[in-house]
Amino acid sequence: MDLLSAVLRELRLESAGYRWLELGSPVRISFDRPGLRGVHHVARGECELVLPDGTGSRLGPGDLVVFPRGDAHELRSPGVRSGPVVSGFELAMRTPGTRLRAGSPRTDAVVVCGAFLVGEPDHPALRGLPRVLHLPGEAGQPPAWLAALVRALATEAFDGGPGSDLVMARLSDALLVRAFRHHSRTVDRPGWLAGLGDPYVAKALEALHTDPAAGWTVASLARTAGLSRAAFAARFAGRVGEPAMRYLLTLRMQRARTLLRDERATVASVAGQVGYRSEVAFAAAFKRETGTPPGAYLRTARRTGSASAARTSVP
């Protein structure tokens, strides 16, 4: 099992488009649309990345930043601390095509800006992704292992033709997978990607994602990983940032939400598919974790699905 690919499929990543953004100093442009997770590649010049708490970093040519958890942020001209803020989302909505401009008429920096959506925002793996993933450039160019993808994205964003949206979506998928793969090899903070980079913990994560309904215990996961019970428990919590059974519970609840959105589902059938022999026990766990009984969640999902279908039906 390719665990990284499997989990990214579970997250249901979907590209929301890329734009070629030309910045003229002084300028401040915000990216704070709920649900959208940003991707920025600095093709030319320099800018500053600033988070809501005021922290940030200088970005130069070749740098790539990804916001896996959708945190709000600004791109600014170097040294700019005040002045009007332009909404990146609104700028894209009111500008035809893929080439955007903000700030003064001259071009001091060019940034290829993209966004993607996550279909399963409550997936436990998201807690293991950093708020900001910064991949520095090398001598003004993207890292060699990423350069071809970034160049192709920039070309499509600047001068794309028919089918560009589809091309950029596929390139974006590949870029994100490579960025996460690279980060899993270098990450130094607890989280799901750190677990993926640990050969023992990765075996347990693979087993959990392959069959979350199995009757897993810390002891059985330890045997799968090839460690003693105590060593495994400490290693999993240290790498992933939470105990193995807590991770399993969150994974099961995420799978349950996905299954409950199927119009053919019943609470009893979903309970069995996520590892509960008792519908009552499943309902109690689901409500405790989500704040909503599974029956109510199922009914709401069906109403929402029916309304969406009605809006998109052809008379």
- Tell me if residue 111 falls in helix, strand or coil: strand
**221 with 113, same domain?**
no
| Amino acid residing at 77 | S
In 160-266, alpha helices (H): 164-186, 192-196, 199-210, 218-225, 229-240, 244-260
CB 25 within 8 A of CB 80: yes
Residues 34 and 85 in one domain: yes
Whether residue 218 is predicted with pLDDT greater than 70 in this model: the reply is yes
Q: pLDDT digits over 257-282, tens only? A: 999 988 888 999 999 999 999 999 99
> C-alpha distances in angstroms, 104 versus 23, 31, 44, 77, 160?
7, 19, 16, 11, 25
Express each pLDDT in 178-210 by its tens digit. Answer: 888 888 777 777 888 888 889 999 999 999 999
Kindly state whether residues 170 and 30 are assigned to the same domain.
yes
Domain limits for position 101: 3-186
* Amino acid 164: pLDDT: 83
**Range 298-305 average pLDDT:** 78
Amino acid 179: pLDDT: 87
AA identity, residue 88: G
pLDDT of residue 307: 40
Structurally, the chain folds into a number of domains equal to 2
pLDDT at 204: 96
Are the CB atoms for 247 and 212 separated by under 8 Å?
A: no
d(CA 14, CA 46) in angstroms, rounded, equals 28
| Residue 314 binned pLDDT confidence (cut-offs 50, 70, 90) | very low
> Among 159, 186, 213, where does a domain finish?
186
Task: Give the pLDDT band (50/70/90) at residue 311.
Answer: very low
- How do residues 87-138 score in pLDDT, each as one tens digit? 999 999 999 888 899 999 999 999 999 988 888 887 888 877 788 889 999 9
**pLDDT at site 1:** 53
Whole-number pLDDT of residue 313:
33
- Sort 103 into a burial class: Cβ within 10 Å, 0-12 / 13-18 / 19+: buried
Pair (206, 60) in one structural domain: no
